[in-house]
Every structure is written in structure tokens, then in C-alpha cells.
A and B are shown apart, each in its own frame.
Chain A
Amino acid sequence: MGNYHLSHLDQLEAEAIFILRETAAQFENPGLLFSAGKDSIVMAHIARKAFYPARIPFPLVHVDTGHNFPETIEFRDKYAEQIGARLHIGLVQDSIDRGTAVEETGANASRNKLQTVTLLETIEEQEYDAVLGGGRRDEEKARAKERFFSHRNDFGEWDPKNQRPELWNLFNGRKQPGEHFRVFPLSNFTEMDVWMYMHREGIELPSLYYAHERDTVTRNGVILAVSEFVQPRDGEVVERKKIRFRTMGDATITGAVESNADTMEKIIEEVAAARQTERGNRADDKRSETAMEDRKKEGYF
């Protein structure tokens, strides 16, 4: 008998493909959240594999804060076109204009929290009964408790204390009308796995992930790129630094790290040596100890 053995990346990929196909089979109208961040790119890449030679049987969905780096938006549009997927964009600005979301004020205002409103409105308006997300359990302590198939009530809320047990490869996506599921095919990937997988698969990423020179300001210990959304405040010094981003979020809150890693190999070395989690420089998680759990309960990604 041969050596029937799969490497850890092959096992993770097989699991993610299984989850993606299960989502297509159990739901009528799923959407795949696509922010052009690395996790959503990996998820879309695996989705292409899962349904090859057919196209991905769901649209890409982007909740756009309007505060994205232009590189992100460019990449998003190009990618959707390349794989022949429909792209649905939910604009936070539309929610603000409708009055359902209210722009935060004050020094650390961000549109991060408003994304929840727009996401839930998009889900309702497009009648998505499942939304695929690139969330991973290693990212954050509340996410470590997340299921592959995560139930949301008709207000889009998550009840972490009362989750359905998930055993073996059996996923229960049954629900009442108005309820929906969040599905996380990459649950068992770690940040390192994602990088190793992207390297193996030769996945293309937005240039922001690689080290490049940029004007920055340092605010509350977080390095922010100067852009139309982030302008230096009184007393802040603009510094030219060689930086890269470890996660891709709203430009107002996504911190950069100083880095010389301009290739995937170098990034992998850097990730291996990193002493901070990738969300460690996300101002949104720093608001309180349970910031992520609180946002997730309300319906955040």
C-alpha cells in the first residue's frame, strides 16, 4: 500500500474546499466577503479550486468604508474581473446617507464599526442566507470560539454561549427564515499557514503587503500611512519609512510595520520571527479587552 499522507497545507485546503462546497449545497444564496485582504484572496483562490472548471457559484461581496487605499480597490476590481465573478459592493457611505449609520466623531473616529450596519443591510437587501468570511481562529481570542458554520439570528447577532456543536465533518446549516450563517472556511489556518499557502500557490497580493516607502505618522504607538483619510495632527511628525501592512483594513485604523520584506519569502521569515500578532496594530481591537467579541455579537465579520 502506498503512503497515503497529506501535508498540513493539503489537509487545510481539503477542509476549506469541503466547507465551500458544503456552503454551496446547503444554502440558496451565499455571498463571499472579499476585501482584497490576503485572507479573502486565499478564500477566493480556494473557492476557484473547489468549483473548477465551473465559476464560483456565489458573488464577491465587499463592504466598502470609502476609506480604503486605492491599491486595494484596484486589486479588488481586477480580481473579480479576472475570475469572472459578480462583485457586489455595499457602501458605508450609503448607510450614512440613509441615516442608518452615524459617523463617529472625535479624535479616534473610524468607520470600522459602521461596517456592521452596512454588512447587515447588504445581507438583508441581497437576501444572502450565508456569508463566507476569511476569519481565522488564531486571529483573536473571541474568534478562537467561532464555528465553521456560525449561526446568526434575524438581527444578525451571534450568541457565543449557545453555539451549535460541530462534530466530524457534519455541518448543520438549518435555519429559520430571516436568519443567516457566517461561514469560515479558513478557520484552522494560522497566519503562517496563510503565508506558506500563498507562497506555495503563487498567489498575487496587493502591493501594500510588501515593504515600500511611504509617509507615515505614529499615533498611539501605531504607524499609520498618511493619506487623504489620515492627515498629521498638531504635534505629529511625518516620517518617511519603509513599511508594509500585515492586514488590510480601513486606512484610518490599519497600522503598518516597519519592514524590509519585499518578497513573500522574506515576509515568511518575518512572520516566523514576529513577536506581535497581526492584529496587534489594529486600533479597533485595542478599544477594549472584549472589543472583538462585542462587535461580533452585533454582527461584525
Chain B
Amino acid sequence: MDLLRFTTAGSVDDGKSTLIGRLLYDSKSIFEDQLEAIEESSRKKGDENVNLALLTDGLKAEREQGITIDVAYRYFATPKRKFIIADTPGHIQYTRNMVTGASTANLAIILVDARKGVIEQTKRHSFIANLLRIQHVVLAVNKMDLVDYSQEVYDEIVTEYRAFASRLGNIVNIMPVPISALEGDNVVDKSTQMDWYEGSSLLYHLENVHVGGEENHVQARFPVQWVIRPQSNEFHDFRGFAGRIAGGVFKPGDEVVILPSGFTTSIKKIYQDETELEEAFAPQSVCMTLEDEIDLSRGDMLVKKNNPPEQGQDIEAMICWFSSSPLQARAKLVLRHTSKEVKALVSEIQYKIDIETLRKIEDDRSFSLNEIGRVKLRVGSPLFYDNYRKNRHTGSFVLIDPGTNETVAAGMIG
């Protein structure tokens, strides 16, 4: 079976929780005791209908306030695919959660209320999906029942959205679909209310959309995560380099270059536990042995000669700031990239982006919570990296405040 990870974004009240509830319910992923539990708490709160949002809002504070605070992960499966939903809250103050949810997603569902059309929040969600390089977007025009299932309303929204999204370069595929999450129109089954709509239902699209294009199978990258040395009689001289392939394809016999030392050797064997593999590719977790005894440890990287990554101590990146204390130029932080941790200095704040208008802000050089923009960083020892557009694994990093140990920013190189 296949796996699709997607994120859902929408503003308050545009029916995101109802849609997720509908997908879970119609795919029989809600259990009776869960339904009983939310029926019971809806009753206690005096709600008229069963509030499907209670399924996703798991924390006490969320249920009290009726808002989603944190990313919640939800699971459902159909005979065709397993799905992981990163359900992220839509309010502006939770941009960091949207960024988090989007970082592992293959697809984003962006919800629009048919009565309101494309609003600022729609643009912000799309901007984030694009920034995190989500290639597939489903534009779910919800609450079609409240606009009399009007094709005209729908077409207008789709046209406006496409015009906006054409300015966002990473989104390859936009699939618009008119739905009513409440009534179930075009969610699982095709609606009988909208004969003019010729596309497929939302679930059909989720089951069939081609994903997997986000792994880079060309440029070989293997960050060493852990060295396996059994120190047993049976495996006396065994030194295996364990890690998760971040790009490309590796085969036994392949010539590889070790970074940062620059030594060249070749792969002896590739293990996936006891099994010897003929080839290995992203995102497999494997263990490699090499022909030569070379000093190699966590943070080093195996690559191939013909397409090496970039190397250097000066990095330019887009970052999203997660901390309530603002970022200042010259701030000293810790940067975590692949299996490597280095010191980092923010050498320059170049600009921030107003994500409502996509305009650059150049006169305000400090980053506050949830702001996105471009910085230059100087790091303590060279990183081996790729542009985030080419490789999500080797193009991404997080920044950590060494004082509090909090993760304060997410970064995309390039």
C-alpha cells in the first residue's frame, strides 16, 4: 500500500474540522467509542450538533477554547492508500504550526468558504505550502450548499486563485473541487447536486494523485547518522555507517566521496538489517560498509563525484521565526542540518515578507514570532547542502537557541 501525507489549512469556521471528520467518518476510521465520547461532550457543552472538531482537538485547552492550538496528526486508510493528515490551525498566530505540518507533507488541502472566496488567509496558506515546496494543492471550495451549488461562484473563485497561485513557483498541480463537507458533496462520492462539475471527488483525487516526486533520486546524498561497530567475535572488523538516504541511488561497488575529508572509496555492501541490498534510495534507512578503512563519523556525508552538494560556511536561506523573543542580527544560535550540528551566526537580515501581499519588507530588520524572511548565516564549520528546491532533506535546517534549547526557526536554503 501507498502512503500520502497531506496537510489541511483553512481559516476559522470554514469547515476544516468538519471535512476531516467527514473523511475519517466515511472511511470508517472513527470508532464507535470515539463518536460516543464526542457526542457526550457535545451534549455537555450544549451544542446542537455533534461537533466533529472535538475529534481533532485533543487537548483540554483546545476543547475549552474551541480552537486548535497544535498540529494534530490523524490517520485513515482506504484500500488504495494510507493517509497521514497534519491538521494545522489556521489563525495567523499559528503560522509555525502550518510550517511544521507542511514540512513533511506531499499535498496541501486549502479550504475556501464559497461565500467568502479567496481571502488573505487563503493566500497565506498557499504561500506557506509553496515555501515548503508542496507540489500538489487541492483547492477545496467548501459550503457549496450555501451558494446553491452555483457553478458561477465556483468558477470565479478558481480563476482568482489560479491567478494568485501563478506567482508561486513551486506548486506544480492545483486541483480545484467544489464540496460541501457538511452534506458530503464531492468528498467521498461525486455529488448529484453539481452536474456541471466534471472532475473527481476529493477522496478519489487523494487516492490517485501521483506523489513521490519530492524525493530526489538523482543526486546521491548519504549523511552518516551513527557508526555501527558490533565488537563481537562474529563481526570482529565490522564498521558500518548507518543513516537515511537523503538523495540519489547507491549500489555496492559505487565510487563515493567522503565529505568533508574528500577521500574516495567504494561501497562494499549495503545492509537493511540482515538483508544485503542491490541498491538503496531515499528515504530508506540503511547501513553501508566501505572498501577502505577511512575515518568517518556522524555529521559526515557520502556523495558521488559527478554531482557533489554545495559546501560552505556562508548560507542564504528563507526562515520562519518561531520564538516569541525576536531575532536580532548577529544572534548566535545552533544550526541543525542533516546529522550535523554547528554554531551559527545571523550575519544579515536581508528582508522579511509580508505574506498577505507577498511584498518584501526591507526597512524592519528584526524578526518576530511567525515572521518569514531571508537571512544570511555564517556557520562554524562547512555544511554540505543543496538548494531546498532540489532536495528537502539536504536543503532544510532548524535553528536552536543554545540558552533555552528551544527550536526557534525553520530554514530553507537557497
Residue of B1, B70, B228 near A160 (CB, 8 A) is B70
Check B217–A141 contact: CB distance below 8 A. no
Check A170–B82 contact: CB distance below 8 A. no
Known: A17-B285, A51-B242, A293-B59. 19 other contacts (CB 8 A): A8-B1, A13-B285, A50-B285, A52-B274, A54-B228, A54-B229, A54-B232, A55-B230, A137-B75, A138-B74, A144-B72, A161-B69, A167-B398, A168-B396, A170-B336, A170-B397, A174-B402, A190-B75, A289-B41
Complex Cα spacing A24 to B285, Å: 15
Check B59–A11 contact: CB distance below 8 A. no
Complex Cα spacing A50 to B60, Å: 36
Which residue of chain A has the shortest Cβ distance to B287 in the bound complex?
A52
> Looking at chain B's contact residues, is the secondary structure mostly helix, strand, loop, or mixed?
mixed
Complex Cα spacing A14 to B398, Å: 22
Taking the nearest CB of chain A, how far is it from the CB of B90, in angstroms? Answer: 17
By a CB distance below 8 angstroms, the chain A residues around B402 are: 174
Complex Cα spacing A192 to B82, Å: 10
Check B1–A51 contact: CB distance below 8 A. no
Known: A166-B100, A168-B104, A168-B392. A176 touches B405 (CB 8 A): yes
Complex Cα spacing A193 to B84, Å: 12
Check B232–A53 contact: CB distance below 8 A. yes
Taking the nearest CB of chain B, how far is it from the CB of A257, in angstroms? Answer: 12
By a CB distance below 8 angstroms, the chain A residues around B75 are: 137-138, 188, 190
Residue of B31, B59, B84, B334 near A275 (CB, 8 A) is B31
Taking the nearest CB of chain A, how far is it from the CB of B398, in angstroms? Answer: 5
Complex Cα spacing A274 to B235, Å: 46
Taking the nearest CB of chain A, how far is it from the CB of B119, in angstroms? Answer: 25
Which residue of chain A has the shortest Cβ distance to B410 in the bound complex?
A167
A25 within 8 A of B: yes
**25 A-B contacts, Cβ less than 8 Å apart?**
A11-B3, A14-B284, A18-B225, A18-B244, A25-B226, A48-B273, A52-B273, A55-B230, A137-B75, A138-B75, A140-B58, A141-B57, A142-B58, A144-B74, A145-B58, A145-B71, A145-B72, A160-B59, A167-B99, A167-B396, A172-B407, A174-B400, A188-B84, A190-B75, A274-B31
Check B249–A4 contact: CB distance below 8 A. yes
Q: Report which B residues bind A (CB closer than 8 A).
A: 1-3, 31-34, 37, 41, 55-61, 63, 69-75, 77, 81-82, 84, 96-97, 99-100, 103-104, 212, 215, 217, 225-226, 228-232, 234-235, 238, 240, 242-244, 249, 271-274, 279, 281-285, 287, 298, 322, 334, 336-337, 339, 392-393, 396-398, 400, 402, 405-407, 410
A105 within 8 A of B: no
Known: A53-B238, A142-B59, A165-B96. A25 touches B225 (CB 8 A): yes
Residue of A5, A14, A53, A188 near B228 (CB, 8 A) is A53
Check B407–A164 contact: CB distance below 8 A. yes
Residue of A53, A174, A192 near B230 (CB, 8 A) is A53
Complex Cα spacing A214 to B336, Å: 54
Check A49–B273 contact: CB distance below 8 A. yes
Check A172–B398 contact: CB distance below 8 A. yes
* 0/1 interface trace, chain A 1-41, chain B, CB 8 Å (1 if under): 11011111111111101100110110000000000000000
Check A161–B242 contact: CB distance below 8 A. no
Check B287–A293 contact: CB distance below 8 A. no
A82 within 8 A of B: no
Q: Which 6 A-B pairs rank lowest in CB-CB distance, beginning with the nearest?
A: A141-B58, A8-B3, A49-B273, A17-B285, A280-B33, A167-B103
Q: Report which A residues bind B (CB closer than 8 A).
A: 1-2, 4-15, 17-18, 21-22, 24-25, 48-55, 137-138, 140-145, 160-161, 163-170, 172, 174-176, 187-188, 190, 192-193, 274-277, 280, 289-290, 293
Residue of A7, A170, A176, A274 near B398 (CB, 8 A) is A170
Complex Cα spacing A15 to B57, Å: 25
Complex Cα spacing A202 to B157, Å: 52
Complex Cα spacing A271 to B74, Å: 18
For A53, A145, A165, A289, the residue with the greatest tally of chain B CB atoms inside 10 Å of its CB is: A165
Which residue of chain B has the shortest Cβ distance to A138 in the bound complex?
B75
Complex Cα spacing A48 to B196, Å: 56
Complex Cα spacing A169 to B336, Å: 10
Complex Cα spacing A30 to B89, Å: 33
Known: A190-B77, A280-B31. A1 touches B217 (CB 8 A): yes
By a CB distance below 8 angstroms, the chain B residues around A140 are: 58
By a CB distance below 8 angstroms, the chain B residues around A144 are: 56, 58, 72-74
Known: A14-B285, A161-B59. A289 touches B37 (CB 8 A): yes
Taking the nearest CB of chain B, how far is it from the CB of A42, in angstroms? Answer: 14
Check B393–A168 contact: CB distance below 8 A. yes
By a CB distance below 8 angstroms, the chain A residues around B212 are: 4-5
Residue of B2, B217, B226, B392 near A8 (CB, 8 A) is B2
Complex Cα spacing A25 to B336, Å: 14
By a CB distance below 8 angstroms, the chain A residues around B272 are: 49
By a CB distance below 8 angstroms, the chain A residues around B33 are: 276-277, 280
Complex Cα spacing A1 to B410, Å: 33
Complex Cα spacing A24 to B287, Å: 15
Check B217–A137 contact: CB distance below 8 A. no
By a CB distance below 8 angstroms, the chain B residues around A277 are: 31, 33-34
Check A25–B60 contact: CB distance below 8 A. no
By a CB distance below 8 angstroms, the chain A residues around B55 are: 141
For B56, B59, B410, the residue with the greatest tally of chain A CB atoms inside 10 Å of its CB is: B59
Check A168–B103 contact: CB distance below 8 A. yes
By a CB distance below 8 angstroms, the chain B residues around A289 are: 37, 41, 63
Check B58–A53 contact: CB distance below 8 A. no
Taking the nearest CB of chain B, how far is it from the CB of A244, in angstroms? Answer: 18
Residue of B1, B279, B285 near A7 (CB, 8 A) is B1
Known: A1-B217, A49-B272, A167-B103. A290 touches B60 (CB 8 A): yes
By a CB distance below 8 angstroms, the chain B residues around A11 are: 3, 283
Check A14–B58 contact: CB distance below 8 A. no
Complex Cα spacing A24 to B226, Å: 8
For A142, A163, A167, A190, the residue with the greatest tally of chain B CB atoms inside 10 Å of its CB is: A167
Check B273–A169 contact: CB distance below 8 A. no
By a CB distance below 8 angstroms, the chain A residues around B396 are: 167-168, 170
Which residue of chain B has the shortest Cβ distance to A11 in the bound complex?
B3
By a CB distance below 8 angstroms, the chain A residues around B334 are: 174
Check B77–A192 contact: CB distance below 8 A. yes
Check B234–A53 contact: CB distance below 8 A. yes
Complex Cα spacing A12 to B240, Å: 22
